[in-house]
Copies of this chain bind each other. A is one copy, B any other.
């Protein structure tokens, strides 16, 4: 049904204890929708969540009344447009996307390849936006989908420039092999991240998808912490990574500067919240100041 399964594999819905609170149960139903599910039946939802059928039925009726879920053509349930609209109100993604779009467009226009805006989410790279066109190499990524950080150009930047804690967790989570070229040993990954720091941009040479390479550059906030990354992704034979690197870096640099400018005017909401509080506010990239210098 959907050829993009590989990116966001169906969560194997564990037989975890069903939460007791009604609210949590209702939200469980929303989570039951995987990234590639168009429409789910009551029976499926009941099975995936572990809720009794009558319970699921009743809660779904409420979700439908709310508007976040709608009934599909063939009796099933599907996530609705209202939910999409609600998601667009998330302040962090919105300000980032709006500020970044012009730069993404410039990169797209220059290359006509896939251009991504990504943030870190746990040990993954999460794609906030994707620009591509007819001439772009078809790839698996989607807006809202994720890939393991260790095998993507953007993800490696987060691991190289972010708090060491993140790298530790990523290694501990296991370096999944997506292609024969994926770096799966902690030692080689560390070496690769060191090279990433030296060069000032991230690379992915067929490490997440066969035949696909990418260049990425980091975006910093006013404290010089990495908050996002932009990348160009395309077919290995078409993309000249070394030639594109300066363009990506320049775009990321200008974007960083614009974000800093805006944030001093108090119009931005980019803070990570409490999630990465473990970070002591230090600027992890300060040891490599050339990341912010001219290329």
Contacts and interface: CB of A to CB of B under 8 A. Distances in A.
Interface of A: 1-2, 21-27, 30-31, 33-35, 37-39, 59, 62-63, 65-66, 68, 70-73, 78-81, 83-94, 97-98, 101-102, 105-106, 108-109, 119, 121, 126, 128, 131-134, 142-145, 266-267, 269, 271, 273-275
Given A30-B86, A88-B144, A90-B80, A24 B273 contact: no
A131 B105 contact: yes
Contacts of A37: 89, 91
Given A79-B86, A102-B134, 17 more contacts: A23-B63, A27-B68, A31-B66, A72-B273, A73-B273, A79-B91, A80-B90, A83-B86, A84-B88, A84-B93, A87-B88, A88-B145, A94-B142, A101-B131, A105-B108, A105-B133, A106-B134
B90 A271 contact: no
Given A71-B273, A133-B105, A144-B89, A23 B84 contact: no
Binding site of A, secondary structure by majority: helix, strand, loop or mixed?
Answer: mixed
12 contacts: A22-B23, A23-B25, A23-B63, A26-B27, A27-B68, A31-B66, A31-B86, A71-B274, A78-B92, A79-B90, A83-B89, A105-B133
